[in-house]
Every structure is written in C-alpha cells, then in structure tokens.
Amino acid sequence: MFEAAEVGRKIAKSEFKRREPELHTRLLDAQRALRETDIPVIVVISGVEGAGKGALVNRLNEWLDSRGMQTFAFWDESDEERERPFFWRFWRTLPERGTIALMFGSWYTRPIINRVFGKIDPSAYEKDLTRIAEFERMLTKDKALVFKIWCHMSKKAQRKRLARESGHALRDWKLSPLARRYSKHYDAFARVSEQAIRATDTGECPWHIVEAEDPRYLHLTVGMKLLDALNHRLTREASVSAAPDERAVTRRVGTGDETRTVLEQVDLGRRLSDKRYRRQLAEYQRELNGLVWKARKKGIDTVALFEGWDAGGKGGAIRRTTAAMDARLFRVISVAAPTDEEKAHHYLWRFWRHLPRAGHVTIYDRSWYGRVLVERVEGFAPESDWMRAYQEINDFEQQLCEHGAVLLKFWIHIDKDEQLRRFKERERIPWKMHKITDEDWRNREKWDAYEAAVNDMVMRTSTEYAPWTLIPGNDKKFARVEVLKTFRRGLKAAL
C-alpha cells in the first residue's frame, strides 16, 4: 500500500513558487463558492510521525480564509472529553455547512496508537474501524465532504529527518517528543495504519496517501487534491446530471519528479543470460511441480492473476508457469470483454464463479483489476463505481486469504520503448501478427493515464495479505523466472 508513496516525488523551489499563487487563489475561490452550499467539509490530516503534518496544517491555514475554516488538534484528552463517549470530542468540532474543519489528529489517532502499543486486541481494533467507517459514511450521507490525507514517509526517510532535526539546535523544538518514541515502532505503525486505511478507504471518502519526504511536494499536492475534491463536489452540487469528471486530468498536471509512479521503481535493466535462464527455468519448474502436488494434498488452493502492459509478456510467463503443473490441477481463465450473462451480474461475479476448489490452481490472465484499469481509463465505469471497487476488491481478496488460499498478483512491467519494439516485431513476424490490433495502438496512446491508474491500484490494493509483485519485464527471460520464483515462494510459505 505504501510502496507507491516511496518513489521520491519532488518539486523544485522555483516551480513551487511559480505555481503556489494560482493554487492559493483557486482554493480561496472554491472556499467562497463552498460558503453558498450546504456542504460541511472535514479535512483529516494523518500520517507517519515526523512527516511534517504540523507544517502542512500551517500551510493550509495560510492558503485558506480563516473566516470559513477552523483547525482542531486532538492532543491529550480533557476531563470534559474523557467523561463522554469517545466521539463526543469530534461531534463538537464538526463544521457547519459551507465551512471547513481541519482535523490535526482525528478519530484514527487513538485506535491506531492503542493497537500499536497493544492496549486493545485485534477484534477491538476492528470494531473501532467499523465504527469509524460508519461515522464517515453517516457524515457523507449528510452531504459532508470528508477529505482524508495520509502523509507517508519511508522508514529510512523518517530516520534521516529525525536525525537531522535532533542535531539542529534551532529546529529541535519542531519535533514532538512523541515522534521519537513512535519512530521506534515504525513497522508496527505501518501495519496497523494500513489496516485502518484499508477499512475506511471507501468510494465516497477515499484516502489520499501522499509522499511527505519533500515538503514542497506534500503541500502542493495536498493543496491540489483538496482543490480537486472541493471543485468536484461543487460541480456535482451545481448540476446533478453527471458533470464531466476533471479529476483524472488535474491529478496529473506537472512533470518530472512530481509525477513519478511506483512503476518507475521497477528496475527494468535486469536481464538473464540464455544459459542461466534455461538452467533456472528447469530448476524452478521442477520445484514448482512438487509444490503444487503438495498443495493438492493439503487442500490449499492457489489464485494467481496477471496484469501488465499489452505485449508485456503475460502469456509467455503464464505458459512457463503452467508448464510446471499437472493439467488436472490448474485452469487458466482468460478475461476478455464480459459475456451477456456476466454483464447481468455484479462485476465480481465472473471471478467468483471460477474460484478453484481446494488444492487447485486458478490463473487469471487479466482479472478483477480491469475495473480500476481499463474500465477507469476508458470511462466504461463511472468514477463512483471504480472508486468503490478498491475496497470491494480488498474485501474479496481478504475472503480468499482468510479461506486459506495462496493469492499471487503480478504486474509485468515494460517501458514504452520496449512496447514499441514488440509491437513492430508483431507486425513484422507472420505468426505474431494476430497478436497486434488497432486497439493495442490506441491503448498505447493512453500510457500516462494507465500508469496513473496502476499507481493508484498498487497504492490502494497492495495489502499485507495480498501484496502486488511488480515484475521487470523488458527481458522476458528474467520476467518468467521471476514469476516462477515468486510462485514458489508463495506456495512454500503456505505449505
């Protein structure tokens, strides 16, 4: 989930200076328009300790008009608060319609801390999260815009910042004493926070995970996302008849370091020599064969899915994998356009129906992620549908994993040049010609939109129980072996 927020996004000082005035003006415009509506806006600022949440809150206070906004910090609880149900403190800070409340710390803070330090058990924590989701749903149904920011920083970046600030005589005070204490529990916080985000990342009030290492990037991105969210709601309010959705566009303004995605983290330079490929292929296939039989005996089922760019080599990787398995034990489901019958059901229905029996393997060549990839980019599904899908997918996969299935999710990545080379090769070589269509060329034109969608997908669906594996695919040999290795690792862990 957080890996997509550890890719080193940055904004140069000069660029920040250039763009800030316009953002500032547009935020004030939106805030003015908001005043005329019956929408209360709740901005929740959460995230890793030391990520600079305080500075972000200050910046938003600088940008927005204080007459329509209030900031609330939730520190130690007062007597008044302690003597009433937990949510009382939040109810009394809820903003009036047409105004904004900025929550620095929120209903998430206490449950997360309690869980990290073992003060509550997993089921109490889950109950807290369910209550939070209900609370936010209730506010949303009452027209509120609940805008949630999670400021993320990698463990390394957090350490670096703490070290720097601690040593700096003038800046030392900026660091809350808690930051030091909490930073010792980075991994636990990450795990517990991920669960909170997953349980409350709904279509109506999604989380925005933003990389916090570069403050300029953090501030500008949060400002733009807030502007988008406000304008989106204001437009919807103005004309209930579906206004064209501008979000996908504004999300991707800017260039360079700012628009980096998790895919750029994939090291496409990795290759395998012919000789090593042949040896490793044979070795891993043999081993996988044994593992699949063992899983059969133990009644453990495996679900693997492959997504990736056109011509990325999904088919080849799948064939090298199934070659290792007994034909009675696996099925490959190729996902193309849905049939009439499938269209007459919920989009997940077509995947549920093919789930393997105990001890079997189902491989999906493209999968339920089509909802948040092609359907999103091509506009086949309205935004409200695909935004909701992340949580539906997470829940679906959680059910699989709770049932004991091994779930493997592959994105096979290639770069744009490599795709072009392969497309041309397909046009040239007779037996590959059938594999290239006009649609492939059309999809290629939407590369950036797809890349943004993949980034969001990894951000919202790479979970503790079902993480994504991003496979470098420029070298097909390397990719195939890597898939086999991951498969083997997954089965071994479950057996």
Q: Rounded to the nearest 5°, which phi and psi values hold at 18?
A: -70, -40
DSSP code for 196: H
Residues 299 and 360: their CA atoms lie apart, in Å, by 8
Cβ proximity to a second copy: between 194 and 204 the closer is: 204
Cβ proximity to a second copy: between 131 and 294 the closer is: 131
Residue 360 contacts residue 329 (beta carbons within 8 Å):
yes
Give min distance, CB of 344 to a second copy, in A.
4
Cβ proximity to a second copy: between 310 and 397 the closer is: 397
Strand order of the β-sheet with 145-152 is: 69-73, 100-104, 41-47, 145-152, 207-211
First-to-last CA distance in the chain?
26
Give min distance, CB of 200 to a second copy, in A.
12
Give min distance, CB of 233 to a second copy, in A.
17
Residues 85 and 376: their CA atoms lie apart, in Å, by 41
Nearest-10 Cα torsion for 326, 331, 332, 333: 180
**3-class DSSP assignment, residue 127:** helix
Give min distance, CB of 400 to a second copy, in A.
6
Catalog residues that contact a second copy under the rule CB under 8 A.
Answer: 38, 40, 80, 82-88, 91-92, 94, 96-98, 123-124, 126-127, 130-131, 134, 138-139, 141-142, 144, 203, 299, 301, 341, 344-349, 352-353, 355-359, 388, 392, 395, 399-400, 402-403, 405
Residues 105 and 412: their CA atoms lie apart, in Å, by 38
Cβ proximity to a second copy: between 17 and 353 the closer is: 353
Question: Pairing relation of β-strands 69-73 and 41-47?
Answer: unpaired
Residue 211, H or E segment:
strand 207-211
Residues 228 and 236: their CA atoms lie apart, in Å, by 12
Cβ proximity to a second copy: between 137 and 185 the closer is: 137
Cβ proximity to a second copy: between 272 and 295 the closer is: 295
DSSP of 12-23: -HHHHHHHHHHH
Give min distance, CB of 28 to a second copy, in A.
21
Give min distance, CB of 42 to a second copy, in A.
11
Q: Residue 358: which of 407, 294, 405 has the closest Cα?
A: 405
Cβ proximity to a second copy: between 131 and 432 the closer is: 131
Cβ proximity to a second copy: between 80 and 283 the closer is: 80
Give min distance, CB of 143 to a second copy, in A.
9
Give min distance, CB of 83 to a second copy, in A.
4
Give min distance, CB of 363 to a second copy, in A.
17
Cβ proximity to a second copy: between 33 and 436 the closer is: 33
Q: Residue 151: which of 106, 85, 118 has the closest Cα?
A: 106
Residue 383 contacts residue 206 (beta carbons within 8 Å):
no
